[in-house]
A and B are shown apart, each in its own frame.
Chain A
Amino acid sequence: MRDRTPEGDVALRPVRTGTAPADRITGWIAVAVFLLAWELLCRALDVSSLYLPRPTQVAVALYDLFVHKQALSDLAVTLYRIFGGFAIGMVFGVALGLAMAVSRRLQSIADVFIAALYPLPKITLIPLLIIWLGTGGPFMLTISALGALFPVIINTLLGVRQCDPGLVMTARDLGASERQIVRHVLLPAAIPSVFAGARLGLGVSIILVVAAEMVVGKLGLGARLYLAGQVLETETVFAVLVVLAALGIAVTKALDAVDALTGKWRA
């Protein structure tokens, strides 16, 4: 298995989408055709921009949003909430997952709570958290951290469990203490799985922060979206959706880059 030639390895993999330049051009042409058809159909059928604004109107709204309506600060606030909470969730998730993997007692305690809380849609915790924390920064960071926490705990736990027992025995043979085994063997062995959990968790954090902002309706992209919808500024609704989609793409690309860096773990 391990001695397969690199060429053979590549040939066995399914075709990856959107990597070759030709594929990328095809994709962009499709997007352009779609936007053009949207624009022309709206004009031809005289669709009210209240229901479906034309792409050009969305573009104008997007420009307006950032140049005249300080949407940049909303974007910054939303990003801070997502990544601040996500970072907190990561730290606690990795620490708890690792501790659970090492301590049988802690695991049996935590298992019960995780079994109860994991299937619960975290969005349903918004009303309770508002009662406890109000609608400010601590609330937003908490809801974001909760989104990341569970996927990271579970994937860290899985990653440590999948660690080759031979590596642990080798480390012990070379004089590593239990603490050193956790730090230098179990944690690095779990890294690919931890990143898989981070990927899932970040997705949940984004959803929860935007949803919480829509509920609170003060600051952030979610608030912009909700308020624009309330006053039927449909172009602005679309403009915010474009920003959120772009954010999603940027995050996915960044995670792909991190994934490539951890590739050597799987050798």
Chain B
Amino acid sequence: MGGNLQTSSEGAVHPEIRLEGVSLVYEAGGSQVLALDDLHCRFAAGRVTAIIGPSGCGKSTMLQITRGFMPASRGTLSFVGPDGQPMPRPPRMATVWQSFNLFPWRTIEDNVAFGLEMAGMPAAQRRVRAHEALRMVDLGGFERKYPGQLSGGMRQRVGMARALVMDPEVLLLDEPFGALDAQTRLVLQEQLAAMVERTGKTVLLITHSIEEAVLLADTVYVLTARPGRVAAEVQIDLPKPRSIASTHDARYAGYFERIYGLLKSEVLRSMHGEAGGQA
């Protein structure tokens, strides 16, 4: 269990990410649709920030903007280094996806090594790194299998290994456990919480699970239904490392209820909005 996956490599900077006044407007059927409205968020350096909100509130769009795949219509995105100054270069980022997105024609080790291969790392070296990453997610021995031969939970562990092997300074989790069954999800949440704790990376977690947000995050942003606005920022002050046992903490119930209350009104509002739209 050694190596550079747990302690980040030399020169790694875990930045604070700032969204200031970020809005996103897109064209649909000739009219302008406001998806995200004037977001102000800070994703603290080396901490886990969760974004939670009703379906279609623009959570994943927020992740796309942070990743730099989609420009914001208004507002700024900045990465601030430990010295309080904007980073001279964008940070290394890697994403874990809800739908796993493994390359079905590549073996597990070649999936994990994809990013290293693209960066031009020699084959022998990247194989060593890929095997090490696979051992970290308890998938040693599956190197030569294909994704189609693995269960959903195993595939997502490959997805985690593939992101972590890149030693990202910012780890983006796009509903990473949304496609998994409840038991697998619990186990992977615990494993991920422990892994993230060790590496001290800046993590952005998009989720629709309150439990997941409270168990993994230091800060939870609750978004409103479309257009996405910040409804509340909740600091989660539960001892770490957290596990399923943390749900027995009295404070856990408090956080859960607070977030649920905020979400419930938003979900109801969006449901009524849809009903109104159909009428």
Contacts and interface: CB of A to CB of B under 8 A. Distances in A.
Interface residues of B, number: 24
Contacts of B99: 166
Interface stretch (A40-48, A183-191, A224-232): A183-191
Q: Name the residue in A164, A171, A174 with the highest tally of chain B Cβ atoms < 10 Å from its Cβ.
A: A174
Contacts, number: 59
B146 A264 contact: yes
A15 interface: no
A264 B148 contact: yes
Nearest to A180: B118
B215 interface: no
Contacts of A180: 118
Contacts of B69: 169, 172-173
Given A3-B152, A175-B119, A180-B118, A170 B101 contact: yes
Interface residues of A, number: 24
A135 to B, nearest CB: 43
A263 to B, nearest CB: 10
Interface stretch (B90-98, B123-131, B195-203, B204-212): B90-98
A174 B104 contact: no
A173 B94 contact: yes
A265 B105 CA distance: 5
Nearest to A168: B101
Interface in A207-225: none
A6 to B, nearest CB: 10
Contacts of A265: 104-105
A185 B103 contact: yes
A251 to B, nearest CB: 25
Interface string B94-123: 110101010111000000001101110000
A177 B118 contact: yes
Contacts of B104: 264-267
A173 B149 contact: no
A15 to B, nearest CB: 24
A174 B166 contact: yes
Given A166-B97, A264-B105, 12 more contacts: A169-B69, A169-B101, A170-B95, A171-B114, A172-B69, A174-B118, A175-B118, A180-B118, A184-B117, A185-B103, A264-B104, A265-B105
Shortest 5 CB-CB contacts between residues of A and residues of B:
A267-B148, A174-B115, A170-B101, A176-B118, A166-B101
22 contacts: A2-B148, A164-B101, A166-B97, A166-B99, A167-B103, A169-B101, A170-B103, A173-B69, A173-B93, A173-B94, A174-B114, A174-B162, A176-B114, A177-B118, A180-B118, A184-B114, A191-B105, A264-B148, A267-B104, A267-B146, A267-B148, A267-B149
